[in-house]
Structures are given as C-alpha cells and as structure tokens.
C-alpha cells in the first residue's frame, strides 16, 4: 500500500471517531446519513459541490461557531470550494433535527430544548369530596 492509501485510511478512521462528536462536521454528515435515507456520502458531496475525496477532509473540521457562523462557513467554502449555503443548511438542519445547540450549557441562550409531556400530579381531594 502506498503512502497516500495509508493517509486516506488514517483520515477515514479519524472521521469515524468524530462522527459522534457534535463539535465536528463529521457529526453533521453522519447525522444526515442516519436521518435521510438518500443522504449517502456521494449525495452529500454532490450537494456541497465537492469531490467525494474532499468530504473526509471537510468532516475533520470543527462545526461553524454560532457567534461567527457566516464567517466560518465562508472560510470553509473558500478553503474547500464548496457551496456555502448548502453547508449552512446542512449544519442547521442537523442541529434542529437533533434538537441540540452548540451552547455549552443546557438551556443556555440559543439552545433548543425539546418539549415533553409530563404526567400531572394527582389531585388532592377535599374532605367529604367523592371521587
């Protein structure tokens, strides 16, 4: 195996380790593949307008920061020659569908919380009330 093949395998292993880490684009792409049946790696690369070989390199990048989202997406678009609006849409779609935010604390400003139905506490009966 040549050096390039070894390097590609190392990159692929690194991407696989980051697929469960919501701080990296690997998580976004893995989440899309889980959430959308038509979202293969090839389909994601096509949506972004890049070659499949570049997708793993992109996946190793940190997620765009909320406070600098547009600038971070633009920087990635410049570096990888990708469609910035497609990347922004993918990131936001996964964040919404996964119900998380980059905010460090649960319930911090800008985070999304799922509404849950909670059981009602039993009502107290007044003395002499029939139930």
pLDDT tens string 88-110 = 999 999 999 877 544 445 454 54
Q: Give the integer Cα–Cα distance in Å for 130 and 127.
A: 9
What DSSP character marks residue 105? S
Q: Residue 92 has what pLDDT?
A: 94
Q: Please tell me the least confidently modeled range out of 2-16, 71-85, 87-101.
A: 2-16
66 token code pair: 């909320």
Q: Give the integer Cα–Cα distance in Å for 40 and 60.
A: 17
- What average pLDDT is seen over the chain? 82
| Neighbouring-strand partners of residue 24 | 62
14 token code pair: 């690194």
1 or 74: which leads in pLDDT: 74
Closest CA to 77 of 67, 88, 91: 88
- Domain range list for the chain: 3-98
């Amino acid at each position: 195996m040549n050096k390039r093949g070894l390097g590609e395998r190392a990159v692929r292993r690194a991407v696989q380790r980051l697929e469960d880490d919501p701080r990296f684009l690997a998580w976004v792409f893995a989440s899309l593949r889980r959430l959308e049946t038509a979202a293969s790696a090839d389909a994601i690369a096509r949506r972004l307008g890049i070659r499949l070989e570049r997708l793993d390199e992109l996946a190793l990048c940190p997620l765009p920061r909320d406070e600098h989202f547009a600038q971070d997406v633009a920087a990635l678009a410049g570096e990888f020659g990708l469609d910035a609006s497609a990347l922004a849409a993918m990131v936001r779609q996964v964040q919404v569908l996964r119900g998380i935010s980059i905010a460090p604390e649960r319930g911090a400003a800008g985070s999304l919380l799922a509404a849950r139905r909670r059981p009602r506490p039993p009502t107290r009966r007044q003395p002499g009330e029939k139930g």
